[in-house]
Amino acid sequence: MLYDTLDNLNFEKSLKNKGVNSFDKNIKLLVIADTHGDLSLSSNMYKKLENVDYDLCCILGDIHDFDYDIIFKYIPKDKIVAILGNHDMFNLLARQGLNDINGKVIEINGVRIGAIQGSFKYKRENFPSFTHEESIEFLNNMPEVDILLSHDKPFTYDYKDPAHDGLKGITNYLYDKKVPINIHGHIHKSYYSELKNGTQVKGVYGIELINIQNGKIVFEEKI
């Protein structure tokens, strides 16, 4: 196993750093995460969906049904892949007629993209979630990818906030498979960071256009 113990405060230190795979592809991803109904209520947010040049729209969960009504006015369903968030009903994506890629790998523009839904299982209710052990086992069955989409973030350090510390299975997979890029939602924050192994991590809140050139996330474009 790549990890020594699931109880380490600094989880990254327990993982073997093998760097990341070579990745020189280009792709533009229109990413939507955690709108929680704000898209249908906001008079401005939906404008980010107008006249956008992108290769694939990636929905990372916690999107209200009313928000989907707005999304479908601008984005065709055949250009969308989606996963569930921890506030979504299990039948949501099927009901909306969307391509659920949880646990699957797709390829577009020569870029391999995989995904994992939900968050850490921090409450007793039945919702899309994993224990740390379950997330490790789930992702152990996924082939290598260039980009991992996830609702939750990679677990790096135990900040004693189970709802937002992330999933150890995500971090374990990023290290084990040497994944160049992880894009996630859940924590209601837009940010960029890098793991110690070199994985680029992009947190998305709302709507963002992520431009990847020669395997690197670039930030010149705004929507």
CATH code, domain carrying 30 = 3.60.21.10
Judge contact between 105 and 114, C-beta under 8 A. Answer: yes
Among residues 183, 32, 55, which one has the least CA distance to residue 110? 55
Structure tokens at 7: 């109880």
Q: What percent of the chain has pLDDT over 90?
A: 80
- 44 within some domain: yes
- Average per-residue pLDDT in the chain? 92
- 102 within some domain: yes
Which of the pair, 216 or 43, is modelled with greater confidence? Answer: 216
- 28 within some domain: yes
Structure tokens at 141: 């069955």
Among residues 137, 188, 136, which one has the least CA distance to residue 163? 188
> Tell me, what's the pLDDT at 111?
98
- 41 within some domain: yes
- 223 within some domain: no
- 47 within some domain: yes
- 174 within some domain: yes
> Tell me, what's the pLDDT at 39?
83
Q: How many domains does the chain have?
A: 1
**pLDDT tens, residue by residue, 115-169:** 999 999 998 778 999 999 999 999 999 999 999 999 999 999 988 899 999 999 9
Residue 42: domain span: 11-216
